[in-house]
Amino acid sequence: MARMNCPAPLEVIYKNTRFFITHNPTNVTLNKFIEELKKYGISTIVRVCEATSDTTFVEKEGIHVLHWPFDDGVPPSNQSVNNWLDLVKIKFCKQPGCCIAVQCVACFESPPHRAFNSKELLYLGKYHPKMQLHFKDSDGHRNNCCIQ
């Protein structure tokens, strides 16, 4: 089995929302990649980078792949942001505690790893939340989450 030669994925957890930021696998590392996705219970991947592997095998494992790429260093389009917000709302309202994977190549290739560049920081600084996600935690308490 091929060994994945990349930084470890990053799991981000906030209350009942879970995100898994990961690399973009090649066909050679795909089996190990699918294993990792299953370990975290991921059923949806949002690919925001250029494809480097065939999604057929991933989808045969019951993992849905959405391809919403945008260039590194520039903000996503309004349509991509709206698609993302719709996905997050649907997934976390219907399946609290589920995990959405985001497949990105740039954050793993740029030195230092996982760093924002100035254009990305400017975009985030000017961004205004478009929605709030309301959900109940495991104790039945209502929580709000601002979705960027």
**Out of 6, 72, 98, 145, which one is annotated catalytic?**
72
Please state the three-class secondary structure of the chain as a single string: CCCCCCCCCEEEEECCEEEEEECCCCCCCHHHHHHHHHHCCEEEEEECCCCCCCCHHHHHCCCEEEECCCCCCCCCCHHHHHHHHHHHHHHHHHCCCCEEEEECCHHHHCCCCCCCCHHHHHHHHHCCCCEEEEEECCCCCEEEEEEC
Q: Is 137 a catalytic residue?
A: no
Cβ pair 74, 119 in contact under 8 A: yes
**Out of 104, 107, 137, 139, which one is annotated catalytic?**
104
Q: Is 72 a catalytic residue?
A: yes
> Which amino acids are annotated catalytic?
72, 104
